[in-house]
């Protein structure tokens, strides 16, 4: 469920990654880069397989988007994987990105990208019927990058990029001038919440009382638009985390916020001494953040792989997430995994994905 939910060594990075990290290190503010998301002249699924995940409040199904070659889908399966039912096939080689349930589980909202600089937010019933366009690509909704539904199910909070260009003769064009916005579920009453004009923003979650937004880089006060502090938080001394967190992230690195104020962040971790060569990433981890005390309380799992889209299962302390082993030479493919919050019971979730339907 997308808003408030109850809870029951990588040594080599490609040239594009090196350029991105170098830019980040020159900035006074933390900026997260997304490897490969907007490479090429057209919208492309550069990381085949599972793209994003959500779970309804009753844990009845897994909802996910995935891409197979040039085609994207929205599908469901049982909570433990297995047989898959496709409920939406993108048209005209569009890419389906973030998928989320509304808090009442009756509607699904998702981002459908037709080109690198254009995306549309759509909605449909949970069975795939009654497809509606929420945005039309006008000002403030021309390039939506991420969405979250408010806990009361009344508004969509989202990230939008106003500009798509390159600021360097050697860098590829990508979304810039990025800020946070909100709108009603029908796309009306658009409000710009911040004036950050950020180079990049990744990940989006909302607090239970709808007062704060969380993203990879910081915390934002919804009413004032002020940045309240950094995210990731500092590790608790009791967490026993070594190295430096927050060098690198992925498209959807932030989970929903649980009703007891916990969120999970997917992030790179770099071994010390990280001043010597800052692109030597040790691996990716899933980190448990306590929003009440503003501390990281646990490294749930650490893997020598690319991790994304952490998602709570609602009735117990289980996190679903995307894992891609490409960073140490394996095939570039996003698989679905699960793990308990204490780091135990790490499992691959087999999905019988239909091909080219």
- Quote the pTM value: 0.87
Q: What's the pLDDT at 249?
A: 80
How far is it, in rounded angstroms, from Cα 170 to Cα 137? 29
For the chain, give every domain's residue range: 15-352
Q: What's the pLDDT at 280?
A: 56
- CA dihedral of 135, 137, 139, 140, whole degrees rounded to 10: 60
How far is it, in rounded angstroms, from Cα 189 to Cα 191? 6
Closest CA to 81 of 355, 354, 353, 350: 350
Q: What's the pLDDT at 134?
A: 98
**What pLDDT, in 10s, does the model give residues 118-169?**
899 999 999 999 999 999 888 899 999 999 999 999 999 999 998 776 677 7
How far is it, in rounded angstroms, from Cα 200 to Cα 296? 23
Q: What's the pLDDT at 283?
A: 78
**What pLDDT, in 10s, does the model give residues 325-334?**
876 677 889 9
Q: What's the pLDDT at 114?
A: 87
Please state the CATH superfamily assignment of the domain spanning residues 15-352 in this structure.
Answer: TolB, C-terminal domain (2.120.10.30)
**What pLDDT, in 10s, does the model give residues 3-32?**
554 544 333 333 334 333 333 333 323 233
Residues near 157 by beta carbon (within 8 Å), at least 6 away in sequence: 147, 148, 149, 150, 180, 181, 182, 193, 204, 206, 213, 222
Which residue is listed with tokens 């709808």?
A: 210
Residues near 40 by beta carbon (within 8 Å), at least 6 away in sequence: 46, 116
How far is it, in rounded angstroms, from Cα 339 to Cα 344? 6
Q: In DSSP terms, which residues pair with 266 in a beta bridge?
A: 286
Contact 61, 80 (CB under 8 A): no
Q: In this structure, is the dihedral angle defined by the CA atoms of residues 338, 232, 144 and 46, taken in order, positive or negative?
A: negative
Which ranges of the chain have pLDDT less than 70? 1-42, 165-166, 170-174, 246-247, 272-282, 327-328, 356-357
């Amino acid at each position: 469920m997308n808003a408030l939910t109850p809870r029951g060594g990588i040594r080599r990075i490609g040239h594009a990654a090196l350029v991105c990290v170098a830019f980040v290190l020159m900035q006074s503010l933390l900026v997260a880069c997304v490897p490969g998301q907007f490479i090429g002249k057209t919208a492309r699924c550069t990381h085949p397989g599972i793209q994003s995940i959500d779970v309804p409040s009753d844990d009845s199904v897994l909802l996910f988007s995935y891409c197979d070659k040039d085609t994207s889908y929205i599908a469901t399966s049982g909570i433990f994987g297995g047989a898959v039912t496709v409920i939406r096939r993108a048209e005209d080689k569009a890419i389906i990105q973030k998928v989320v349930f509304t808090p009442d589980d009756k509607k699904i909202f998702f981002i459908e990208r037709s080109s690198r600089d254009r995306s549309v937010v759509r909605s449909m019933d949970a069975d795939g019927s009654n497809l509606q366009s929420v945005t039309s690509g006008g000002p403030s909704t021309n390039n939506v990058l991420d969405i979250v539904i408010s806990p009361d199910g009344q508004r969509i909070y989202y990230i939008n990029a106003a500009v798509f260009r390159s600021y360097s003769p050697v860098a590829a064009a990508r979304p810039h001038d990025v800020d946070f916005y909100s709108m009603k579920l029908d796309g009306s009453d658009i409000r710009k919440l911040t004036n950050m004009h950020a180079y990049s923003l990744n990940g989006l979650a909302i607090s239970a009382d709808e007062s704060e937004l969380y993203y990879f880089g910081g915390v934002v006060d919804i009413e004032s638009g002020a940045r309240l502090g950094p995210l990731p938080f500092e590790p608790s001394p009791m967490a026993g985390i070594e190295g430096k967190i927050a060098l690198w992230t992925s498209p959807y690195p932030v989970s929903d916020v649980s009703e007891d104020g916990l969120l999970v962040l997917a992030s790179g971790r770099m071994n010390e001494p990280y001043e010597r060569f800052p692109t030597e990433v040790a691996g990716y981890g899933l980190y448990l953040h306590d929003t009440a005390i503003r501390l990281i309380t646990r490294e749930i799992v650490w893997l020598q792989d690319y991790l994304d889209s952490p998602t709570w299962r609602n009735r117990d302390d289980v996190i679903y997430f995307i894992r891609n082993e490409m960073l140490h030479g394996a095939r570039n493919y996003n698989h679905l995994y699960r793990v308990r919050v204490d780091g135990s019971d790490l499992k691959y979730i087999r999905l019988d994905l239909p091909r080219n339907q």
